[in-house]
Amino acid sequence: MLAASNHCYLNNHLNHQERHMPYVNIKITKEGATAEQKAELISGVTQLLRDVLNKNPATTVVVIDEVETDNWGIGGETVTVLRQQAALKQQDQ
C-alpha cells in the first residue's frame, strides 16, 4: 500500500509542476542544423520565456524535433519536392 501511496503522490506532484512548467516544441526540417545552432535555439527560447513571461529557466523544457523533408508537406507537396523545384528554377535563371 505504501508503494501505491508514493506513486499517487509522485503523479500529483508532477501534474502540479506541469501546470507551471513551460514546454516548447520546435520542429525543423532535418537539413543539417548543428549542435551549436540547436543549443542556441534552446538557450534563446528559454531566455525569451524568462524575459516575456517571467518563467523560471530551471523548469522550462525545450524539445527540438528534426523532421525528414519527405515527412514535411507544404501546399500539398513534400519539402523535398519543393526544394528540388526551387533548385530547378534557380538553374533556369
Q: For residues 44 and 52, give the distance between their C-alpha atoms in angstroms, rounded to a whole number.
A: 12
22 is catalytic: yes
3-state secondary structure of 54: coil
Cell of 85: 523545384
From 11, 12, 13, 22, active-site residue: 22
The residue written with cell numbers 513571461 in the block is 53
- 3-class DSSP state of 29: strand
Residues with catalytic annotation?
Answer: 22
